[in-house]
Structure 1
Amino acid sequence: MSETPTALVVGASRGIGKALLSQLTQSGYDTYGTIRTSPSSQSNLFQADLTNASSLSDAAEQFKKTRGGEEGSLDLLIVSGATAGDEPYLTLSPDRLMEYYDINVAGPLRAIHAFLPALRKSKGKTIVLISSLASNAGIRAKNALTMPKEDRLPISTGPYGSSKAALNCLAIGLYTELEDEGFKIIVVHPGLVNTDMAQNMIKRLEEKFGEGGGPLKVLEVEESVSGIVDVVKKEAGKKDGKAVLSPLNFLLLSSSSPARFSLHQRAMSQPKALVIGASRGIGQSLVKKLLNEGYDTFSTLRSEPTNDHTFLVDLDDPDGASVHQAASDFTKEEGALDLLILNAAICGVAPYTELSQDVHRAFFQTNVIGPLSAVQAFLPALRKGKEKVIVFITSLLGSTSVCLDVARQPAEKRFPISKGPYPSTKAALNQLGIGLWTELGDEGFSVLIIHPGLVKTDMGAPFIKALESFPDSGIEAITVEESVDAVVGTIRSHIAAGVPDVRILNYDGSDLPL
């Protein structure tokens, strides 16, 4: 077989993907691509859809036959296809949000699953995922917090950025699974490119800054792709496997039994709080703590409610029927809600290289789409409240910088991070929270995104046990009570300050690395 390196671009029908095929060919690659429509007579193009695992598997089979059957190898896989938009979270349907994650997160994973056998046979073993500046929580939070509304950059605050943040974490997780095989994972932001997908953002930039886009330079497709190819050639040529995040302008970074609670006498002056996911652990303790802090406290359980302060809610429900029924019942009886805490989540080890579509969707349904459905459902009550605070319980594992730093450590010195989609969903949740605040901040809302620490719960037990092998990690497990006392203290301090804000915080109130 030829020693010419092979490259395949998923999503090559137009724009960046099409230009990548052309420039990679000019750079000496034997190039192939997938397009959503039936290909012409070109033997190097295969039909495939990111939402359809079977079509991607068929494309991989066609590639293998074209490359000589079982011996066919693939040095470089680039996943370029995506969906974009700027829909407001407040009116976004669960189905549309799942569509973003299905195309922009699960789609690339389907493509990787399909072409992984061919990649494993190659010398190059390089996977490139096209991300976005909109995935960077630090940039988006700074843009939202430090600039007057009229001066903010019109960076997408909707589900596109959230899905790309999840993609970044997926890439890091994949690297930790594939590094021992010599794989390189590269995540690259292509810049603000003059494509059909970017026209709405370019228009908003030019309305604000004039032609050219101001601080965000508008790149032509060829200019962007030239930079991407330079990055890929540089990194793919290195001998050591590596996870690389490339930001704007391609500057590489170094790189149980239901809870039962006694009813408190209600008073109209009491602020009202609701905890979503209070069956056990942190959620159960949050309810107790908030009661002691003087809140008229309500909660949701997945089992049948035990009193008139509990509601049946299942965030796994795709149409959100149970949460909307709970919100309707609450609003009818109580009217206003001051504090909403979204605590429910699922965790678990589910390696990306073995992850099924159903399990992947379940993680996003419970950890991202479910919380958004709850906010949408209870928003009328929150708008009537005085405090107007929404709290998302996140995780340190949702921090791209933390996961990347961990992934770059030698395997024997690397303290464990969750394998699979849990970190990716928390990164998406962080971005969702920032986006929600940009929609609600003018109404006096605050959105707090809080990491509760490494807590001694059933969910935290596997990480705590694994950390026993890393006594110098600097990470200490804390009790549920220690975590909840600090989390509620952080929330109360923010409310006392009286300034609507969006913050991503540790349980103790310090800033969480982004």
Structure 2
Amino acid sequence: MRNMVNDVVAVIGGSSGIGKESAKLFADQGAQVVLIARGTDRLRETAAEIQNQGRRADVMKADVASLDEMRTAAERIKATYGKLDVLIYSAAGFYLSPVETMDLTVAKQLMEINYWGALHTTQAFLPVIRKGERKSMVYISSLSAQCTPPFFTAYAATKHALRGFLLSLRQELRPEGIHVGMVSPGPVQTPLIEKDLHQDMYRLPFGIPVLKPESAAKAVLRSVKTRKGDLVVPARIAAAARLAAAFPSLVETYYRLSIPGWRKHIESLVGRRPI
């Protein structure tokens, strides 16, 4: 596989977590990295880290909820670099709640970022991706799109929507030689989930590790370089993820057996026993 010295890589949501670590990895490969998010303070910090290592990074402000802003960002990349080789979609929101008390405003915001944001980004950037040489688009999904635990109703719905979108998009763009990759990590220690992880609605069963964002970022780079369609992180649970997607009831059984008192714990959180 050729090096990435001549590649232009846009990272949507590159200010922290998986997006930030992905940007640093691609920059280390020699790529010109463009960091995009709705706020620029943390983006500039990430860009400064990259530039201090002698690598190339630029910053652009755009909100994935706005198709117009994403199109403007894509046009700026086209005007500045003439092409885009790799697009990484790492923007995300996270929210856990019993469905009966769910804040619907927050749930809708999650869909706006995790699904509609990916759609806006895809529409906006496809024309400039077509001008690139590598022609790779990789999106951060989630293990919860295959192994869905309780209280993930708002979040998992967005990732199921994203997964369906990408499975169809992959077939649509394959004849053009455009790679559509999907990286599905388990829980990752990032600011996005740190307040929920290991708390009442986010208890991890035996065998599910908490990942560092660098591990997921390495999978993103691997997806681009090998043009893999689907990567689960860590790889050792990929077979279990496929099995859980085919037989969803196995997830419920696994949680019940792996976490002592799990069913009573759920009942206590929703405030009533199931009928």
Which TM-score tier does this pair reach, normalised by the shorter chain? 0.7 to 0.9
In structure 1, the residue corresponding to 2:128 is in which secondary structure?
Answer: helix
From 29, 32, 38, the counterpart of 1:30: 32
Look up the equivalent residue of 2:129 and give its one-letter code: L
The equivalent residue for 2:63 is 49
CA distances 1:77-112 after superposition (whole Å, capped 9, x unpaired): 010001101022212244333222111101011011
From 154, 167, 172, the counterpart of 1:159: 154
Residues 441 and 246 of structure 1: CA distance in aligned 2, closer, same or farther (over 3 Å) = farther
Alignment of structure 1 residues 162-181 onto 2, 5 Å: 162-181=157-176
The equivalent residue for 1:114 is 124
Q: 1:217 offset after TM fit, Å? A: 1.2
CA distances 1:300-351 after superposition (whole Å, capped 9, x unpaired): xxxxxxxxxxxxxxxxxxxxxxxxxxxxxxxxxxxxxxxxxxxxxxxxxxxx
The equivalent residue for 1:103 is 113
In the alignment, the residues of structure 2 paired with residue 234 and residue 223 of structure 1 have an alpha-carbon distance, to the nearest angstrom, of 16
The equivalent residue for 1:443 is 273
The equivalent residue for 2:18 is 16
Residues 33 and 253 of structure 1: CA distance in aligned 2, closer, same or farther (over 3 Å) = same
Report whether the alignment pairs 1:62 with 2:76: yes
The equivalent residue for 2:83 is 73
From 172, 177, 180, the counterpart of 1:182: 177
CA distances 1:195-216 after superposition (whole Å, capped 9, x unpaired): 11121343339x967xxx8522
From 210, 216, 234, the counterpart of 1:249: 234
From 183, 186, 195, the counterpart of 1:191: 186
The equivalent residue for 1:226 is 218
Structure 1: any 5+ residue segments left out of the alignment? 144-154, 237-243, 255-399, 402-436, 446-514
In structure 2, the residue corresponding to 1:51 is in which secondary structure?
Answer: coil
Q: 1:188 offset after TM fit, Å? A: 0.6
Does structure 2 retain, via aligned residues, the 8 Å contact 1:190–1:228?
no
Q: 1:28 offset after TM fit, Å? A: 2.8
Q: 1:21 offset after TM fit, Å? A: 0.8
Higher relative contact order, structure no. (Cα contacts within 8 Å, ≥ 6 residues apart) = 2
In the alignment, the residues of structure 1 paired with residue 226 and residue 7 of structure 2 have an alpha-carbon distance, to the nearest angstrom, of 14
TM-score (norm 1): 0.41
CA distances 1:455-476 after superposition (whole Å, capped 9, x unpaired): xxxxxxxxxxxxxxxxxxxxxx
In the alignment, the residues of structure 2 paired with residue 112 and residue 94 of structure 1 have an alpha-carbon distance, to the nearest angstrom, of 26
Look up the equivalent residue of 2:17 and give its one-letter code: G
Residues 86 and 208 of structure 1: CA distance in aligned 2, closer, same or farther (over 3 Å) = closer
In structure 1, the residue corresponding to 2:88 is in which secondary structure?
Answer: strand
In the alignment, the residues of structure 2 paired with residue 129 and residue 44 of structure 1 have an alpha-carbon distance, to the nearest angstrom, of 20
In the alignment, the residues of structure 2 paired with residue 26 and residue 252 of structure 1 have an alpha-carbon distance, to the nearest angstrom, of 28
Does structure 2 retain, via aligned residues, the 8 Å contact 1:202–1:218?
no
CA distances 1:45-66 after superposition (whole Å, capped 9, x unpaired): 1001111112111111221122
Q: 1:3 offset after TM fit, Å? A: 6.8
Look up the equivalent residue of 1:235 and give its one-letter code: R
Look up the equivalent residue of 1:200 and give its one-letter code: K
CA distances 1:207-255 after superposition (whole Å, capped 9, x unpaired): 967xxx852211222233223322332226xxxxxxx22224146979x
Residues 178 and 224 of structure 1: CA distance in aligned 2, closer, same or farther (over 3 Å) = closer
Look up the equivalent residue of 1:162 and give its one-letter code: A
From 91, 107, 124, the counterpart of 2:101: 91
Residues 222 and 38 of structure 1: CA distance in aligned 2, closer, same or farther (over 3 Å) = closer
Look up the equivalent residue of 1:216 and give its one-letter code: I
In the alignment, the residues of structure 2 paired with residue 26 and residue 6 of structure 1 have an alpha-carbon distance, to the nearest angstrom, of 13
In the alignment, the residues of structure 2 paired with residue 64 and residue 76 of structure 1 have an alpha-carbon distance, to the nearest angstrom, of 13
The equivalent residue for 1:217 is 209
The equivalent residue for 1:4 is 6
The percentage of counterpart residues that share the same residue type is 26
TM-score (norm 2): 0.74
In structure 2, the residue corresponding to 1:189 is in which secondary structure?
Answer: strand
Structure 2: any 5+ residue segments left out of the alignment? 48-56, 240-244, 247-262
In structure 1, the residue corresponding to 2:100 is in which secondary structure?
Answer: helix
From 130, 137, 154, the counterpart of 2:140: 130
Tell me how many residue pairs correspond in the alignment: 235
In structure 2, the residue corresponding to 1:198 is in which secondary structure?
Answer: coil
Look up the equivalent residue of 1:444 and give its one-letter code: P
Alignment of structure 1 residues 249-288 onto 2, 5 Å: 249-250=234-235
In structure 2, the residue corresponding to 1:185 is in which secondary structure?
Answer: strand
Look up the equivalent residue of 1:134 and give its one-letter code: S
Alignment of structure 1 residues 134-153 onto 2, 5 Å: 134-136=144-146, 139-140=147-148
In the alignment, the residues of structure 2 paired with residue 248 and residue 123 of structure 1 have an alpha-carbon distance, to the nearest angstrom, of 27
Look up the equivalent residue of 2:114 and give its one-letter code: N
Alignment of structure 1 residues 357-506 onto 2, 5 Å: 443-445=273-275
In the alignment, the residues of structure 2 paired with residue 443 and residue 245 of structure 1 have an alpha-carbon distance, to the nearest angstrom, of 38
In the alignment, the residues of structure 1 paired with residue 233 and residue 5 of structure 2 have an alpha-carbon distance, to the nearest angstrom, of 33
In the alignment, the residues of structure 2 paired with residue 93 and residue 202 of structure 1 have an alpha-carbon distance, to the nearest angstrom, of 19
Q: CA RMSD in A?
A: 3.2
